[in-house]
Amino acid sequence: MRILLIGNFGPHYEEESLHNISFMKKLETDGHTCTVINTSEHPATENNFIETKSFFNFLTALIKASRNQDVVHYFTKGYLRLGLLNLMIAIFVGTLFRARTFITIHSELFSIQGQMRSSLGGRQTLFAAFRMANKIICSDKDTYDVATMYMQKSNFELVPSFIHFSDEITKAGKVMLENLKDMEKVIVFSNVLFPSFTFDILNKFLTDYPIPSDTAIVVAVTEKPASKVKQLLEVEGNKIGANLILIDADDLNSVMAAHSRADIILRPLSCEGSTYFEPFAISIKRTVRSGSYLYFPNGLLFIKEGDTSEMCACIINTLLCVEAGQLPEINDRDSYPRLVDLYQGKD
């Protein structure tokens, strides 16, 4: 199949972009031809991806790339007007060129913001896009329940979000995997910069909770140079041991390898409008592995009210020390193969 993928494929890498990239690579491995339009404000590292810097640039690239495609698939965390407009236009253009059209809603804040769309534009845009699309893919039950408020026909599917780790990706991240091979637990702090709420929690966690020898803390740093964060942690009196690993948040191979071993992932929000949330909100996810896939069935958002870094660090330590309990059973048929079946019209 010829497939046009539209969404966040650029750094700084986290679950959304890692899902999109690993999904694209899996499709190509299986013989499909993929074209990618990167909607991230950060340029992708792959030279053959199409970059868009403005709405008109996006529209031009979309029309050119949609020709002769079998599938047009839009991945989004964009719930504001411009993001929803891009979404609706992408589905319209895909439909115009007789492609099967898909929308994947990555879950971050949609369960809240999806219910708050304005009746003077936002709701109509969602109604129109959802009515035209062949399938709406929701990555979790809460997102599914809210998205179906806009249901015009029975085209909604619940497909857990995932990251696929191919042999190629595993080989590329072998240095990171070697560092983590003896670790029982791995916590990934993603896209850390200073000052930030994420840094405050990391600093408090390292200060108040000694890291067990079989636990690794991987910090993916957006600060340039990355050594600045290490110096700031040392200034605060933290003992930086071998089980604290700092990596560049733009290093796809290292970030992907760290996520392949992660038990807990913390990061700033990355949905559209995230600049408003950056100083006082972070996402925390607990992971589940199934074969060569990593899933994110359980997650929380920490919203800062006052000095809450100590409270958040305590919660993270509790998650680290307590067994996960009964996590959802996930079958590999729920993910990649299901999406390919939907592409082929096998409902």
pLDDT digits (tens, 9 = 90+) for 173-193: 888 888 898 899 999 999 988
Mean pLDDT of the chain: 83
Residues in the chain with pLDDT < 50? none
d(CA 33, CA 27): 8
Q: What is the three-class DSSP state of 169? A: helix
**Tens digit of each residue's pLDDT (9 = 90 or more) over 130-149:** 889 999 998 888 888 877 87
Residue from 187, 178, 78, 155 nearest 342 by CA: 155
Residue from 119, 154, 155, 151 nearest 137 by CA: 155
The reported pLDDT for the residue numbered 28 is 95
Q: Are 266 and 188 in contact (CB under 8 A)?
A: yes
d(CA 107, CA 139): 6
User: Which residues lie below 8 Å from residue 333, measured CB to CB, with a gap of 6+?
Assistant: none
Structural domains for the chain: 2-160+332-343 (3.40.50.2000), 169-321 (3.40.30)
Vertex 260: Cα angle to 288 and 32 (nearest 5):
95
d(CA 74, CA 90): 7
d(CA 187, CA 194): 19
Q: What is the CA radius of gyration of the chain?
A: 20
The reported pLDDT for the residue numbered 326 is 53
Enter the pTM of the model. Answer: 0.90
